[in-house]
Amino acid sequence: MAKLEVEICGIKFRNPVMPAAGPPVWNGEAMKRCAEGGAGGLVSKTISVMAAQVPHPNMAEIPGGFLNTELWSELPPEQWIEREYAIAKETGLPLIISLGYTAKDIAQLAPKVRPYADALELSTHYIGDDPRPMMEAIQAAKEAVEVPVFVKFSPFRDVKVAALAAKEAGADGIVAINSFGPVMAIDIETGFPLMGSKEGYGWLSGQALKPLAVRCIFDIARTVDLPIIGVGGVFRGTDAIELMMAGAWAVQVCTAAILKGPSIFGKIAKEMEEWLDSHGYSSVEEVRGLALKRVQEQEYRLYPVPPLLDPERCTGCKLCEVSCVYGAIKVVDKKAVLEAEKCAGCGLCVTRCRPRALTLPRAAKFK
């Protein structure tokens, strides 16, 4: 069986799947349920110097994604320090404590949570293009504690510039990414926005966020040599593998844990193990950053190259035929037939082919 254990900044995790700061870890008992569900480590919900006043309603499932107006913890920081962190530590798993937001807040909170923290995670969702508030928060944390300090990025600014600034400020690692927004969805039966914020805005997470997360992780990984914990759209083992191929060392899960419950952590880890075994990898670390290597090997073409077709794999489902606007592929007698001279080389049929009867010719082999 493939090895799933990972080590980040000297902290050992039994597998690389952990909760993200959010509703699934809203208190100590919730974190215990995540541990029982198979998480490899724990991350607490973000606290600040005061409890948050969260608008209601504040969570909604939408087609392809998830909306929230969640803020930081609605519990006062004193309750976390006096009760919740101790409950989480009973699990024996590493505990990353999430803090926000300003340098002044961090300086006040970090020494108080230090007895429970294996690492700190600093939320920076409020920060715009100026990296200085983030850098000041990192420096305040580094001055207050000796444990690793990770900084969590939102996807709004240039993550490469932010990554360089985080490294300069002394961050030990980067968590990427937070939810994206503001966005909006409306209940067409009532006309009311789904979210209860003042404007009806929310923040997008879930599967719709994954391509953005993959790109941000990829950009960070080729900019700085810091550990990255990937977040965004992880629902299954292959999602986690994709984030790790982009450069993540581990992954965090929030929306999937809300929708599917805390057993999702163990399920994702098991699916990762099965995928690694089936593809001949002995450890999860072997796939880390693979896309960074592959993009260097990839041939950049400005001319169409038809896909390769393996008729033996074809099931005749017609997904390729339906979506080929060029009429280059048709199903005849329950098998796909490709007319190469009509093919525009767009690659869509390859991504729609479930049995992988269609593949793209590549300059380099997968492994």
Q: How confident is the model at residue 130 (pLDDT cuts 50, 70, 90)?
A: confident
Residue 207: strand, helix, or coil: helix
What is the helix (H) or strand (E) element at residue 326, kind and residue range?
none
Class of domain 301-359: alpha beta
Q: What is the CATH number of domain 6-294?
A: 3.20.20.70
Provide the angle, in degrees to the nearest 10, between the axes of the packed helices 210-221 and 237-246: 30
Whole-number Å distance between alpha carbons of 158 and 200: 27
Q: Which of 223, 261, 275 is nearest to 16 (CA)?
A: 275
Whole-number Å distance between alpha carbons of 340 and 316: 18
Place of tokens 């962190």: 85
CA-based Rg of the chain, rounded to a whole angstrom?
22
Q: Average of pLDDT values for 149-170?
A: 94
Exposed, middle or buried: residue 311 (CB in 10 Å: 0-12, 13-18, 19+)? exposed
The answer on pLDDT for 367 being more than 70 is no
Q: How confident is the model at residue 366 (pLDDT cuts 50, 70, 90)?
A: very low
The answer on pLDDT for 159 being more than 70 is yes
Contact between 240 and 234 (Cβ < 8 Å): yes
Contact between 65 and 11 (Cβ < 8 Å): no
Contact between 159 and 220 (Cβ < 8 Å): yes
CB-hemisphere CA count at 13 Å for 131? 20
Residue 126 has a pLDDT of 67
More confident position, 125 or 261:
261
**What does the chain come to in residues?**
367
Domain boundaries, the chain: 6-294, 301-359
pTM for this predicted structure:
0.94
Contact between 99 and 46 (Cβ < 8 Å): yes
Whole-number Å distance between alpha carbons of 339 and 342: 6
Q: How confident is the model at residue 157 (pLDDT cuts 50, 70, 90)?
A: confident
**pLDDT tens digits along 71-85:** 899 999 999 999 999
Helices marked H in the chain: 28-36, 77-79, 85-89, 103-113, 132-144, 159-169, 210-221, 237-246, 255-260, 264-278, 290-297, 319-323, 348-352
Phi/psi of residue 169, nearest 5 degrees: -75, -10
Place of tokens 């293009």: 129
**pLDDT tens digits along 302-360:** 888 999 999 999 999 999 999 999 999 999 999 999 999 999 999 999 999 999 999 99
Whole-number Å distance between alpha carbons of 301 and 88: 52
| Torsion 226-234-116-102 (CA) sign | positive
What is the helix (H) or strand (E) element at residue 27, kind and residue range?
none
Q: Average of pLDDT values for 135-140?
A: 96
Q: Which of 222, 186, 244, 226 is nearest to 60 (CA)?
A: 186
